Structure 1
Amino acid sequence: MEETYDAIVLGTGLTECIISGLLSAHGKKVLHLDRNNFYGGETASLNLTNLYRVFYPGTEPPAELGANREWNVDLIPKFTMANGKLVKLILHTETVANNLEWKCVDGSYVMQVSAGGVFSKAKAKVHKVPATDSEALKSDLMGLFEKRRCKKFFKFVQNYEPNDPATHKNMNLQRQPGRELFAAFGLEENTIDFIGHAVALYTSDAFLDQPSHDLIMKAKLYMDSIGLYGNSPFLYPVYGIGGIAEGFSRLSAIYGGTYMLNKPIDEILFGEDGKVCGVRAEGEVARAPLILCDPSYVLNLNKARSTGRVIRAICILNHPVPNSDNAPSGQIIIPQRQVGRRNDIYVSFMSSSHCVCSEGYYIAICSTSVETDAPEAELQPAYQLIGDVLVSFIKVYDTFEPTEDGRADNLFVSKSYDATSHFESACDDVLNLWERMMGEPINLETTLRPQVAQPQQVDS
């Protein structure tokens, strides 16, 4: 502990573990500390006993749920875009790529409320998300003429090249907002809804007033990810996402990184120049000119500000999620406009196919950004979709972001994880943090290959 390092990392959430591994692999001497006695922080995957211990202390899991070793339940589930930033980060690190097993997520769905008629009531229905021109023609999300318009839009997105004006439909897509792009194709409101929220994966309707280029590139990423490894754009690791954090922790150890779990942090230390110089933990001092941490370590320093709250409900089911074609895993997005909200609602579900629960059971995790004083009531649209629940584990998380970019004092703070069911926003934070810390973006076109080194795992 009482040594000098190039960097100290506090917390073992996914963001911190990725950067710790990358720092070590790029030749930095790293000390990684966590107050918890397990890896992963809020992105940990817990067995059944630990899950009950966290949410229902003193209560033993029911025996009928099966063996403890069969459960790996994510506290914060996130799917990975097959052609997205996290996959590129993992492929950049050959060691992590070789130690993770992935399976494709079986389906991606969106909820849409059909208007009621003279003899019928409005009804919420789950549809498979169409993401190609051919799928658009088959989708029951749209009427016949709208399918043709949507097909033209998807074909335009597939052919779009930022540096080729011939593919821009005579529009200045770097400036003109999304609503003007959709208007050019004559798309209806419900079609715009699922494209913006379930294909481009925006969390609000902000895309309507932002440059069309960004919207197109997000939709293009989704479309490019389909078919790479299966019939869905998303991947999910066998045994849960906690394995990703552990994989990057192993990468750091291979390159000589030192880990200490169950290590409470007394104080982050600053020098006379106002820059960080180390941390004090249980009376010992470790020194470093750079510190990265999650927001929980700096709330007393006013280095993080509140961005709201997120509610997550982990639900154990003994049946497939209804209207999902009995898919073993999948995502359902409930766009905000469909249920009169300002934020989308997300449902991630998985089963024994990804080795996260006993056979015959399913885990459905519902989440959204809190808008009222009754957070659980805000998840009712999700509860109505997933059906009967055997047991649920519900928590409201406060979310934070850094108040400064960290360059002034070399104290860099990550963002809390949002309500989305995918890793794209979290990976944006990783890449942004790396560039601020190192002064240049990481080159993901290269592959890091481990050299022989002695791991320095320390149990405190």
Structure 2
Amino acid sequence: MADKLPTEFDVIIVGTGLPESILAAACSRSGQRVLHVDSRSYYGGNWASFSFTGLLSWLKDCQQSHDSEEDMTASWQDLIHDTEEAVALGRKDGTIQHTEVFCYVSQDVGDSTQKTVALQRSPFSEASATLADSLDSAGLPKERHSAYFSSHEAPSEHPERSDREPSSSPTASENSLEKEKDREDETYTQAVSDGDKDEDTLHVEDNTEQPKRSRITYPQMIKESRRFNIDLVSKLLYSQGSLIDLLIKSNVSRYAEFKNVTRILAFREGKVEQVPCSRADVFNSKGLTMVEKRMLMKFLTFCLDYEQLSDEYQDFKECSFSEYLKTKQLTPSLQHFILHSIAMTSESSCTTLDGLKATKTFLQCLGRFGNTPFIFPLYGQGEIPQCFCRMCAVFGGIYCLRHKVQCLVVDKDSGRCKGIIDHFGQRISASYFIVEDSYLSKEACSNVQYQQISRAVLITDRSILETDSDQQVSILTVPPLEPGTVSVRVMELCPSTMTCMKDSYLVHLTCVSSKTAREDLEPVVKQLFIPFTEAEDQEELRKPRLLWALYFNMRDSSGVSRSSYRGLPPNVYICSGPDCGLGNEHAVKQAEALFQEIFPSEEFCPPPPNPEDIIFEGFVSITTLTVLAYERYIRVVHSRVINFSWAWRAITYIWLYSLAWAGAPLLGWNRYILDVHGLGCTVDWKSKDANDSSFVLFLFLGCLVVPMGIIGHCYGHILYSVRMLRCVEDLQTIQVIKILRYEKKVAKMSFLMAFIFLTCWMPYIVTRFLVVNGYGHLVTPTVSIVAYLFAKSSTVYNPVIYIFMIRKFRRSLLQLLCFRLLRCQRPAKNLPAAESEMQIRPIVMSQKDGDRPKKKVTFNSSSIIFIITSDDSLSVDDSDRTNASKADVIQVRPL
């Protein structure tokens, strides 16, 4: 490792599974210093996704893993004090067992005469060099088919290939593939030439021959390895589930893409058929009679409100859900659909309440993203932990893969963990520690009883239920085939999910283990698939062909409580691995519960700040107040009237000026980053780069110094003009005095708005100056939050100021609030007119070009019109003197 890690953190997390990744994101988002390490070379742990060759390497590591006999105690002695003790962590991952791999397609490197044209034209460059190593690392059997498929096995056309070992020389493999590629290109060119010579004959042959499925070989799968993204766990996301809500709330969803699950399938009487889920699917289904459709819709409607209709199932609470369905007079096919494809429960272990709850959850998730309740992340389930890790890194978390933790350092007196010692011999301290359960030693897990999950990963050549579209994502629950067995969940993924290569399907099988994975899942595989053979027969045309298969057992620690582990310090928290459920609810709930236990006063994964929340609003506010000050200045000091054209130009300038400053960092002049504690988004104040520093300097001048200088200049002149007019107030008429008071009140209100704005933004400005000048350590999280709070509240005070300083607005507001009450007391037309003082109402008069601005002022109880001008030579228009109301016109000239 080039650089040593910091020696102090708030939280250290060991393992990058889904619960650990969510916790890392939540802790980092709340301002904690997070170190996230994993001894593996990939993210996700048992939640990870692999390419095809990556999966083969993972299998090899699982088969060759063993406990290290090296005694590491000597390396700990120098770092552990007399009052401390070391608690060793496990050095073997025992969560994966009974791995078995079977390949049913040709493993011969030279046997590639039927590759697709696309593969011929664009092969992967490094696939050939690593082909032999990949073949060896798979641990494949020498036989082309496994023994349990012997009844379907067909004689091979090339028997010598079945026993041939793959070439161990990369150069030989590459030469063989290149020669084969050239030979295939020649064959392809010749076929095109023949077609050009005899086009009519070719057309007839295409119409008469049955279409043949493209043949996929093992070397082809190796070359297309990156097209595969194979999950170790088989899960889907409920569209109304807790994980979807968390992804949307925390804005982590922007890091991933999703695809709808398009079909819910059922396996009944040896056949696979599609299950109608939504109301439209039920009534459009051709497999149900009209009576069955009505019965199904009636029961599904009841399940949505079953909690309010407890009398319907009160007597069946202790019974199984399957027995309860029989009492509802449903047909056997409807009972099967509801039990295995909608509720997705077992016949024996599921109670009535659990079945109704599962059915309601299923129905509530319909319609949000599609006709089914589920969505699937593109590139596999392993993308989700990486998305949360990315969020943690954005907020300052530090990540280290291939970083082993040797032991925990525990204080003997308090029993709390003080730090860790890594494989580099560095001691790192923290307040809290979160550890994936696979890292615990055998001594800590000696009293724990684990369950097991049986998993199978299959690669097939077509879908288990073919339709017009070949891009279907399907979920199927196969009921127990024999008494005493469990139901098996089957998930089929198409190439559009970015999990498999073209012309292939990726199939996941999952169930609770009773034996080894192969023994549990083998009967279902036999029912749905047949092994790949050279020659096609009628059965192959009915069932998908199995190209490659992997079986393994995975440990399920989701039901283990923390008290079951021995010798854990109180500040060490344990996260479990994947469970057998279809959704991710357990992982999300576990992460949230642990976070609230560690930081009870913090919000769990709040949404990240928007870069425009503080920056853009501040630009708009300061520019608006500057323009407002200038408008008051030209009206009071220079007696100029503002028309609508001037106002629209001013508003346009405000927004363009603010957008220019807010958009500059997006175009490369400085950048947006998180502030010191990751609590808000701001520009990069600390950067010493000339480009970034120049932006900070010009931002200070253009958005603080210049606007505040203009505001000070304008209100200084307004104050001077008002003081000069007050000196001769006794010489003015009462009407002129009222006009002056009106302008003075408006100017005072605008000045108060600017003053409060500057006061609210001053804490934020001060904290930014501290950061720019290298005193960011003085800005604590509390100070940062208070600064943001004051800055965001600056716009709230403007309407409050307006309400308290404008009497007419207050009166209108009270009238609006009391309108209903007044109408109840008496009709509005009988209400007496409210007595009020004479009010001044300035109205802008029309004028010709070149004339000075004039203002017409009228009063409620007077017909006198004042024309205020600023030119001694200007005379009053006769049109103003002679109007319909014969109002008296008085010209008021400035002093």
TM-score tier after normalising by the smaller chain length: 0.7 to 0.9
SS at match of 1:315: strand
The 2-side partners of 1:187 and 1:275 are apart by 59
- Tell me which residue corresponds to 1:424: 585
Q: Which moved more, 1:46-55 or 1:197-206?
A: 197-206
Task: Provide the C-alpha distance between the structure 1 equivalents of 2:432 and 2:31, rounded to a whole number of angstroms.
Answer: 14
Q: Which runs of 5+ in 1 are unaligned?
A: 113-122, 456-460
**1:33 counterpart residue number:** 37
CA contact (8 A) 1:133 1:151 kept: yes
Q: CA deviation at 1:18?
A: 1.4
Amino acid at match of 1:127: E
Q: CA offset at residue 433 of structure 1?
A: 3.4
Per-residue deviation, residues 110-141 of structure 1 (Å, max 9, x unmatched): 323xxxxxxxxxx3222333434564566688
Q: 2:562 aligns with which of 404, 418, 421?
A: 404
CA distance 1:408–1:178, shift in 2 (3 Å): farther
| Deviation, structure 1 residue 318 | 1.7
Instruction: Indicate the SS of the match to 1:306.
Output: coil
Tell me, what secondary structure is at the counterpart of 2:405?
A: coil
Using structure 1 for the length normalisation, give the TM-score. 0.82
Higher relative contact order structure (alpha carbons within 8 Å, sequence separation ≥ 6): 1
Deviations 1:62-94 (A, max 9, x none): 332243332222122311111111101111211
Q: Take 1:450 and 1:29, find their aligned partners in 2: how far apart are those partners? A: 22
1:46 matched to 2:202? The reply is no
Q: Deviations along 1:369-388, whole A, 9 cap, x unmatched? A: 2213x431221243122442
Contact 2:12/2:430 (CA < 8 Å) preserved in 1? yes
Q: Does 2:274 match 1:128? A: yes
Find the aligned partners of 2:290 and 2:44 in 1 and give their Cα distance.
47
Q: Is the 8 A contact 1:346 1:382 kept in 2?
A: no
Q: Give yes or no for the alignment of 1:227 onto 2:367.
A: yes
Amino acid at match of 2:577: S
Give the counterpart of 2:298 among 152, 155, 176: 152
**SS across alignment from 2:546:** coil
Q: Distance in 2 between matches of 1:23 and 1:312?
A: 33
Change (3 A) 1:317 1:297: same
Distance 2:293 2:523 in 1: 27
TM-score by length of 2: 0.44
| C-alpha distance in 1 between matches for 2:401 and 2:675 | 19
Q: 2:111 matched to which residue of 1?
A: none
Change (3 A) 1:171 1:79: closer
Task: Give 2:500's aligned residue.
Answer: 357
C-alpha distance in 2, partners of 1:346/1:302? 33
1:278-427 to 2 correspondences below 5 Å: 278-282=419-423, 283-303=425-445, 305-322=448-465, 326=470, 328-336=472-480, 338-372=481-515, 374-383=516-525, 384-386=527-529, 387-401=544-558, 402-404=560-562, 409-427=570-588
Corresponding position of 1:103: 259
Where do 1:172-183 residues align within 5 Å? 179=321, 182=325
SS in 2 for 1:8: strand
Matched position secondary structure for 2:462: coil
Which SS does the other structure have where 1:76 is aligned? coil
What amino acid is the match of 1:389?
L
SS in 2 for 1:313: strand
Which residue matches 1:116?
A: none
Q: Please say if residues 557 and 579 of structure 2, whose CA atoms lie closer than 8 Å, have aligned partners that are also in contact.
A: no
Checking the alignment, whether the CA contact within 8 Å between 2:38 and 2:400 is kept in structure 1 is yes
Alignment CA distance shift 1:56-1:276 (3 Å): closer
Q: Give distance in 2, aligned partners of 1:252 and 1:390.
A: 40
Aligned AA for 1:275? R
Residues 142 and 449 of structure 1, relative CA distance in 2, 3 Å threshold = same
Q: 1:339 to 1:125 in 2, by over 3 A?
A: farther
Residues in 2 aligned to 1:411 and 1:188: alpha-carbon distance in whole angstroms? 53
What are the superposed Cα offsets for residues 211-240 of structure 1, whole Å, 9 maximum, x if unpaired?
x2x543432221122222122211111111
1:160-239 map, 5 Å: 160=306, 162=307, 165=308, 167-169=309-311, 179=321, 182=325, 185-187=328-330, 191-192=334-335, 194-202=337-345, 205-208=348-351, 212=353, 215-239=355-379
Query: Which residue type is aligned with residue 46 of structure 2?
Result: E
Q: CA deviation at 1:346?
A: 1.4
Aligned partners of 2:509 and 2:521 also within 8 Å: yes
Distance in 1 separating the partners of 2:379 and 2:23: 22
- Are 2:237 and 1:80 equivalent residues in the alignment? yes
Can you list the C-alpha shifts for 1:359-411, whole angstroms capped at 9, x where unaligned? 11111111222213x43122124312244211122222233244426997122
Q: What amino acid is the match of 1:39?
A: Y
- After TM superposition, give the deviation of residue 4 of structure 1 in Å: 2.1
State the alpha-carbon separation in 2 of the partners of residues 339 and 110 from structure 1: 17
Distance 1:410 1:324 in 2: 55
Preserved CA contact (<8 Å) 2:471 2:494: no
Instruction: Give distance in 2, aligned partners of 1:76 and 1:204.
Output: 24
**Structure 2: distance between partners of 1:99 and 1:269:** 36
1:38–1:261 CA contact under 8 A, matched in 2: yes
Give percent identity, aligned residues only: 22
Q: Following TM superposition, by how much is the alpha carbon of 1:424 offset from its aligned partner in structure 2, in angstroms?
A: 3.2
Number of residue pairs the alignment of both structures matches: 434
1:151 partner amino acid: M
| Bigger share in strand | 1
Gaps of 5+ in 2: 62-132, 139-217, 530-543, 612-672, 677-895
Q: 1:433 aligns with which of 594, 598, 602?
A: 594
Query: Does the residue aligned with 1:305 lie in a helix, a strand or coil?
Result: coil
Q: 1:91 to 1:5 in 2, by over 3 A?
A: same
Flag the 1:191–1:258 CA change in 2: closer, same or farther, 3 A: same
User: What are the Cα deviations for residues 147-206 of structure 1, in whole angstroms up to 9, with x where unaligned?
Assistant: 54332210112345x5xx4x5456669977664864663446775554344323446743
> Which 10-residue stretch deviates more, 257-266 or 169-178?
169-178
What's the CA shift for 1:257?
0.6
Pick the aligned partner of 1:261 from 392, 396, 401: 401
- C-alpha offsets along residues 259-282 of structure 1, whole Å, 9 cap, x if unaligned? 110011211232232233222211
Distance in 2 (CA, whole Å) between partners of 1:418 and 1:152 is 33
Aligned to 2:22, the other structure's residue is in SS state helix
1:118 aligned partner: none
- Once the two structures are overlaid, the 10-residue window that deviates more, 27-36 or 142-151, is 142-151
Amino acid in the other structure paired with 1:92: K
Distance of 1:88 and 1:174 partners within structure 2: 33
Change (3 A) 1:450 1:9: farther
Change (3 A) 1:168 1:135: farther
Residue 609 of structure 2 corresponds to residue 449 of structure 1:
yes
Residue in structure 1 matched with residue 711 of structure 2 by the alignment: none
